[in-house]
């Protein structure tokens, strides 16, 4: 999730129409989250924007953005220009979505960018912030619409007067989207889920604003009060609480209290091998807070990169570092049987598959028995052009798969043959 500066936007309002009760497109959208309206983007340039503003009376709700004539919106909205929905209400606050078919800035011109903004009537400096989780997904990605998934896979963002917008500048690669089954008849439906986790008004009690349980446990990890076990990872030590670790992970339960028990005394240090310190730190953070932390950056590496690279190359290098960190965290989640964290990593890896990374991601998925990630990789390879397919198969990563997991190559050939018969 990235904040979005309101001063940097260039918007062009396209046509939106409201779906009334009884419309099949609306009736098909019901789920556990409260329904908060539908906006339809048409390709006509000069038409009045008809707002679809449906009130979701709960703190959680979703809004659908239907893009009709997708190809023409790409032509009409160059990089940096967006179509903006009308207002919809979730958790007593008004919101709107910005859709950039050619990316919000030149660095993400090959992607569709999406942002959600909390709308305010006046620019009031004294207005308090709104804390919320949000998620963008495609309407047929049903597993991503469950509240437990949305809560677990997205961090809490602060929508303030200085940062009213948050979103994804790289929601989906445009070429992958255009080859996928998500684009049907040149139409696309995007779902935006919002969970307000902290209301704008204060909770008046003796303690002031009440933090949630995840914040309490996060503070417990930071201040180390009552810590009774120490781990050494990559030359760094980490203090933690046996009961918390055991409650969250069956592997830690066995390691700390079962047959695998290590370090019976609190003075013992448990060695963790084959893992970087920053990965273990992220693992602990998730165990205590139930949310994925941002990747920590090494300040020295960052300074060195800035000196020798231009902005585009620096961003590419940072992305590669983030991808490697995510893969390592995926392996750690599997190692300690943290299924939600593994699912979060799977989601992120599935959304960032590229020609250069697909073979390593596919090998990772097969090694750790992740069927969803494996399927995403195979689908990505299937829809590539012949030249890109040759590039993939010419890599050492593909040779590694052919030697180590020959059945995966057979599955891929079977899928290609099946597609040709259709």
Half-sphere exposure at residue 232, Cβ-oriented, CA atoms within 13 angstroms = 7
Per DSSP, 129 falls in state P
Residue 208 pLDDT > 50:
no
280 closest CA partner among 229, 319, 343, 237: 237
Report the distance separating Cα 317 and Cα 323, nearest Å.
10
Q: Which of 36-40, 58-62, 135-139, 217-221 has the lowest mean pLDDT?
A: 58-62
Report the distance separating Cα 194 and Cα 132, nearest Å.
7
| Cα 298 to Cα 236, 307, 411, distances in angstroms | 14, 15, 40
The sign of the dihedral angle between the CA atoms of 320, 326, 331, 332 is positive
Report the distance separating Cα 321 and Cα 238, nearest Å.
23
156-172 residue pLDDT tens? 888 988 889 999 898 88
Residue 226: CB atoms within 10 A of its CB come to 10
Q: How confident is the model at residue 22 (pLDDT cuts 50, 70, 90)?
A: very low
pTM assigned to the model:
0.57
Contact by Cβ (8 Å): 195, 150: yes
Report the distance separating Cα 275 and Cα 364, nearest Å.
16
* CATH numbers and ranges of domains, the chain: 34-197 (2.60.210.10)
130-157 residue pLDDT tens? 888 898 988 776 655 565 555 555 678 8
Report the distance separating Cα 384 and Cα 180, nearest Å.
10
Contact by Cβ (8 Å): 165, 2: no
Q: Phi and psi (nearest 5°) for 351? A: -80, -10
């Amino acid at each position: 999730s990235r904040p979005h500066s309101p001063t940097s936007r260039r918007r062009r309002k396209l046509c939106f129409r409201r779906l009334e009760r009884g419309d099949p497109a609306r009736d098909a959208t019901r789920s556990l989250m409260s329904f908060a309206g539908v906006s339809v983007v048409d390709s006509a340039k000069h038409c009045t924007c008809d707002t679809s503003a449906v009130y979701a009376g709960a703190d959680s709700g979703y809004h659908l953005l239907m893009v009709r004539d997708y190809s023409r919106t790409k032509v009409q909205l160059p990089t940096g220009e967006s179509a903006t929905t009308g207002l919809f209400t979730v958790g007593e606050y008004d919101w709107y979505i910005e859709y950039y078919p050619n990316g919000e800035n030149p660095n993400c011109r090959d992607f569709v960018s999406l942002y959600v903004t909390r709308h305010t009537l006046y620019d009031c400096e004294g207005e308090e912030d709104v804390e919320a989780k949000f998620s963008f997904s495609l309407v047929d990605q049903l597993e991503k619409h469950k509240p437990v998934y949305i809560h677990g896979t997205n961090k809490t963002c602060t929508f303030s007067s200085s940062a009213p917008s948050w979103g994804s500048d790289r929601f989906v690669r445009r070429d992958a989207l255009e080859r996928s089954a998500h684009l049907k008849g040149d139409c696309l439906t995007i779902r935006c889920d919002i969970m307000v986790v902290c209301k704008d008004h204060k909770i008046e009690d003796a303690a002031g604003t009440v933090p949630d349980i995840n914040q309490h446990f996060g503070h417990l990890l930071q201040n180390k009060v009552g810590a009774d076990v120490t781990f050494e990872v990559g030359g760094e030590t980490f203090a933690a609480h046996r009961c918390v670790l055991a409650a969250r992970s069956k592997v830690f339960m066995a390691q700390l209290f079962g047959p695998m028990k290590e370090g019976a005394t609190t003075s013992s240090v448990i060695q963790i091998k084959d893992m970087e310190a920053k990965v273990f730190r992220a693992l602990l953070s998730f165990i205590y807070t139930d949310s994925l932390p941002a990747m920590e950056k090494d300040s020295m590496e960052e300074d060195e990169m800035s000196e020798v690279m231009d902005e585009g190359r620096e961003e590419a290098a940072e992305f590669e570092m983030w991808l490697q960190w995510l893969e390592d965290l995926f392996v750690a989640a599997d190692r300690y049987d943290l299924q939600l964290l593994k699912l979060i990593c799977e989601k992120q890896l599935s959304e960032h598959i590229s020609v250069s990374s697909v073979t390593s991601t596919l090998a990772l998925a097969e090694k750790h028995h992740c069927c969803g990630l494996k399927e995403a990789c195979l689908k990505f390879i299937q829809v590539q052009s012949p030249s890109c397919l040759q590039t993939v198969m010419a890599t050492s990563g593909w040779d590694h798969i052919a030697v180590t997991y020959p059945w995966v190559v057979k599955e891929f050939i079977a899928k290609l043959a099946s597609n040709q018969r259709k």
